[in-house]
Amino acid sequence: MQVPASIAPLVDLVFPPRCPLCGEALASQGGLCSDCWSELAIPGEPCCASCQRPFGEGAPEGMVCGPCLANPPAHDGIAAATLYTEGSRRLVLAFKHGRRIALAPLLARLIAAKLPAVGPDWVIVPVPLHRWRLWRRGFNQSALLGRELAAATGASLLVDGLVRRKATPMLGGLGRAARMRALSGAMAVNPARAGQVRGRQILLIDDVLTSGSTSETCVKALKRAGASKVQIACFARVLDEALDLV
């Protein structure tokens, strides 16, 4: 939440601005120190025309990456604020598991900088948590990011547009086929929100995009419900092979 300018000096007096990662003193609230900023890897051009995977310099415009050629995605593009590095990992851990939900505006601003022209005609839908995980954690980190992005873009936030119908295991280390089996039937559009999805442009929000299996399942559910377009947005995207290209 943005601190009103009229009380910002008082907030700074009571809570001196500090980098949320290393504790270094800052000039103002809501940012990182220069050293921690340098730990973030921001993906850019040139990139895959389908999924925005970064390419090396000299790649032709409109080129599609090998993974998208091998398995054409159901989504209509990916907007990632950062690639997954030690710096972005620490931010995600502090936000999600450290319960530092005040980081949501910072992470959302970085995502917003990479978005296409998202506006009031779009609907923002967060990747859902299973009800038991939501109960244990107390919040859905993707929904918090979605709230900030809705305020920044004017898009509508449909916080319960998707539901996770069954708990799923951790997917790390599983092959593609095993991941898809684990996710089979897990995601569905909330029947009460189907009318708000049909025919709409959807921005699907997640904090970290790893293999893409969870988001792919969400995209397919939204497309089956009649969404005209589904773009994925995340704070950190795991693309180890692309780190040397940014």
pLDDT, tens only, 110-143 = 999 999 889 999 999 999 988 888 888 889 999 9
Strands across the sheet containing 122-126: 78-83, 229-237, 201-209, 122-126, 156-157
Does 6 fall in a domain? Answer: no
Alpha helices by DSSP H, listed for the chain, are 8-14, 34-37, 66-70, 86-96, 104-112, 131-137, 141-153, 176-183, 194-197, 213-224
Does 15 fall in a domain? Answer: no
Does 164 fall in a domain? Answer: yes
Q: What sign for the dihedral angle of Cα 76, 81, 83, 89?
A: negative
Does 59 fall in a domain? Answer: yes
Domain that holds residue 47: 32-245
Least reliable range by pLDDT among 94-98, 103-107, 215-219: 94-98
Give the total number of structural domains in the chain.
1
Does 50 fall in a domain? Answer: yes
Q: What is the pLDDT of residue 79?
A: 96
Q: What is the rounded distance in angstroms from the CA atom of residue 50 to the CA atom of residue 47?
A: 9
Residues ≥6 apart with Cβ < 8 Å to 102: none
Q: What is the rounded distance in angstroms from the CA atom of residue 167 to the CA atom of residue 155?
A: 29
Q: Where does the pLDDT of residue 21 fall: very low under 50, low under 70, confident under 90, or very high at 90 and above?
A: confident
- Evaluate if residue 232 carries a pLDDT over 80: yes
Rounded to the nearest integer, the mean pLDDT of the chain is: 86
**Could you tell me if 201 and 227 are in contact, meaning their C-beta atoms sit under 8 angstroms apart?**
yes
Does 211 fall in a domain? Answer: yes
Q: Where does the pLDDT of residue 187 fall: very low under 50, low under 70, confident under 90, or very high at 90 and above?
A: confident
**CATH code of the domain covering residue 228:** 3.40.50
How many residues are there in the chain?
Answer: 246
Top pLDDT among 50 and 172 is at: 50
- Region for residue 51 given its phi and psi (left: phi exceeds 0; alpha: psi -120 to 50; beta: otherwise): alpha
Alpha carbon 165 to chain centroid, angstroms: 21
Does 217 fall in a domain? Answer: yes
**Could you tell me if 71 and 216 are in contact, meaning their C-beta atoms sit under 8 angstroms apart?**
no
Does 87 fall in a domain? Answer: yes
Q: What is the pLDDT of residue 117?
A: 85
